[in-house]
Each structure stands twice: as structure tokens, then as C-alpha cells.
Amino acid sequence: MQPSTMVWNLTIAYLISSFLRIDGNDSVPSYGVDVSFPMHSFDGVSTNYAWLPHNVDPENNPTPPEYVGVPVQHFSERQSFYEEYVQGCRDYWEEEGHYCDEFEQDRIHQLIDQPASVVNFTEFGYKKIQAPKQIFDLIKDFWDRNKDKDDAENWEVGTTVANYWESPSKHINVADDKNELGGQHLKGSIWNMSEAVIKEWTGLDLLPTSVYGIRVYQEGAVLATHVDRFPLISSAIINVDQDVDEEWPIEMIGRDGIARNVTMKPGEMILYESHSIPHGRPFPLKGRFYANIFVHFQPNPKNEHENILPPYILKDSVYAAHWQEEKKEYQNLQNDEFNQHLSHDAARNGDIETLLQIAQEDYEALHYQDANGWMPIHEGARGGHIGVLQMLVDHGADMNVPTNFGNGKSPLTLALENEQFEVAEFLRYLGAYESEHEL
């Protein structure tokens, strides 16, 4: 769906300025990848500084071979900033610091390969709007009641997507019923109200995949440029609150390859194709805090089956090959139980005690996928065990996760098909959705 002329003119006013004040510079010419933060280069950012002779007077100074094809660097000290950034991660994780370098390699590979391997569902890939009042009021009420909590955000070993080693972030989880007004019902309401907005923008029938937040960035925070993992496809960032000394823009690399720094006020919302638009906040936050919530959807692949690519992956692309290889690996898992874990059997039989024991010994096994992409929550829904579902959701299970590796049926759909109506009512109370996937 094309944006109206009025909306697009507003979007232009928000986005297209190439002379925003960034990094102490009052006016910065247009730039693209590998200038503010490494995106396609494994060696870091460009050091092809604007003040070098071949950039100041190109007619009389030939470009040295090492700078041919390298973007002009308009910012100062970005390479040393990046080197210190990665070293901070290594120092934080000590003996496991090598994972920081591996994560950086994966981040850049993903930035190179993923945008070229996916379907784009909108013309421009992102736009800024005012968040609908009903959505913002709901989130703001939760924030006002819980913002003083000191819930540190947990990060996996070696993750470099944010500089938590220097500026720890907080995560005040809207889905946690220990937070005032929090719980699955709030999470479901945020999904429901956001879906209409993103559906109008993309024209897609959507399935919810994630609500994350509220994440609270603190002074000095940096968010490395990245694209989101699958199946985070059609997404929204809502600015909940902030206390800043100057704007902290999110840098978006558009389909034209130009970086645009988009500012946000509380109550504003950025819609973006997070699987294909590189985005980050590469300049440190100057202020006390900046609070955002992230809402993600994927296209509903109603007519998909296991041999067809998800609707967001291009045929014959690098990621199409990866997807097919992963499918083969799962299909080669041949045993009597379809590679099921004890947790599947316990959920199928309503054995909460065993599930609690598994949670203590191997937490991740509660979310293990068998060869058909079934998790314990699917077995619990099909078997009609409300207690199992509550236990699994309390331990982080996604109540809307489809079977068949994202292309199957949700727990609610399985409950309805197996006439487990009490389970279906319970899941709906939590905010669960039906799906139309093929098995």
C-alpha cells in the first residue's frame, strides 16, 4: 500500500535531511555503509578522510589504490571508536572474548547477505508516524508504574549488538506478570493494536512473532548497525520515554544506500522492514535514558508447506540455499520419536513435575523443536493440559509459535482442532492467536 501524499510529505520532512547534527558536526554530507559503523567491511570503518589531498583536490591528487572505491569518511575517529568498542566486549567476557569477534563476523555477513536474499514489502522500507493514542497510552501506563525497576537486560556471550559492558541496559518486560499491569494479556493487546497499523502499511496478512521491551538504554549507549533475525520481518519501534541532552537518532540505511538519521519523540513510532533495512544507533546516547519497545510480525504463509520457502526469502538467493540446507538437516533426523525430547513426552502427558525438573537441568529443552518443528507447548495444547501451558509460558515459551519451523499451526489452532476448548479459552485469555499454516 502506497502512503498518501500528505503522510509521505511528513515522512520526507522527518527522514530525508542529509545535514542532521551528528557526532558534534553541524552538517554532514550524505553517506552510506562503513562510515559511521562497519556494515560491509570486515576491517572496520572507512579511513578515507574528507581532508585527505585526493578528496580535497582530486584533479591534482590521484586517489591512492587503497582508497579506490572506499567511501569518504566525514566523521572523526570512527575507526578507533570501533576498535575500542569491540575490545570492550572482549575485556568484559575475558576467556570467552573471542566470541565477540565471531559475533562481529556474523553480523557483517548477515548485513551483506540477508538484505539481498529477502523480499521487500514496501517501497521505501521505513517511515515514521505518530503512534495511535490507544497503543501509546497502554504502554505509557505500564511504563509509569514500572520505570523505576532495575531489571538488567541479559545478553548472550560475545554479543556485540550493544555496548552493555560500558552502558548496561534495562529490560522491563511487558509480558512479565510480576510487573504491575504486565503479563501475556498486555503483550497480546500491544500485538493486536500494532497489527492493524503495520498491516495497513505493508498490505500483508500478519502473524505476531515478538514483543520486546521496554528496553531502557542509558547514558553512553550504542546500538551496532544490524538487520533482525528471521522471522522478525515487519516491525515497529515505539519511543516510550526519554531524558536526553540532544537527539539520539536511529540510523537507517535506505534502499538507495544512503544513511538517514531518524529522530523520535515519545509517542512516535517507526515502521520498518527490520529484516532488510540496516539500522542502529552508532553514536553514544547523551542523556540519562531512552526507552523503546519493539513489536515484530511476519507475513502469514497460509499456503506454505515444508518444501516451499517462507514468503520473505527470495528464490535462488543465498538465504534460500541456507534454508534448504537446514530443512535437509532436520529431515535427516530419523528415529522412532522424530527426534523428540523427554520434554515433548512430559508435555503430551501433562507431567508438570518432569517439566519442572527439566527446567532446572536443561532450561532450553523446554523449547526444543523435534524433526517436524513441534515444541512441548504444541504437545501440551493438543493434549489439553492447561497447567503445562501455564508452566511453559511462565518459562518463556511463545504461545503463538507455529509448528513446522514457523510454517505450521499455533498452539491455539491445535487446541481448537483437537476440541480442547478449555485450553483454547485459556490461550485466548493470554492473548494467543489462531494460525492458518499447513502442517
What does the pLDDT look like over 81-135, one tens digit per residue?
999 999 999 999 999 999 999 999 999 999 999 999 999 999 999 999 999 999 9
Distance of alpha carbon 409 from alpha carbon 404, whole angstroms: 8
Distance of alpha carbon 88 from alpha carbon 92, whole angstroms: 6
Of 103-107, 151-155, 296-300, give the range with the top mean pLDDT. 103-107
Using alpha carbons only, what angle is made at residue 254 by residues 248 and 259, rounded to the nearest 5 degrees?
Answer: 45
Which DSSP helix (H) or strand (E) runs through 259? strand 259-262
Reply yes or no on whether the pLDDT at 20 is more than 50. no
Q: Which residue has better confidence, 400 or 248? A: 248
pTM equals 0.73
What does the pLDDT look like over 308-330, one tens digit per residue?
678 899 999 999 988 777 666 54
pLDDT at residue 288, rounded to an integer: 97
Reply yes or no on whether the pLDDT at 166 is more than 90. yes
Q: Can you tell me the mean pLDDT for 4-13?
A: 32
Reply yes or no on whether the pLDDT at 6 is more than 50. no
Q: Can you tell me the mean pLDDT for 137-160?
A: 93
pLDDT at residue 323, rounded to an integer: 77
Q: Which residues contact 390 (CB under 8 A, 6 or more apart)?
A: 426
Determine contact, residues 256/219, Cβ cutoff 8 Å: no
pLDDT at residue 302, rounded to an integer: 56
What does the pLDDT look like over 121-147, one tens digit per residue?
999 999 999 999 999 999 999 999 999
Using pLDDT thresholds of 50, 70 and 90, give the confidence band for residue 8: very low
Q: Can you tell me the mean pLDDT for 225-242?
A: 94
pLDDT at residue 3, rounded to an integer: 36
Which DSSP helix (H) or strand (E) runs through 88? helix 78-93
pLDDT at residue 284, rounded to an integer: 98
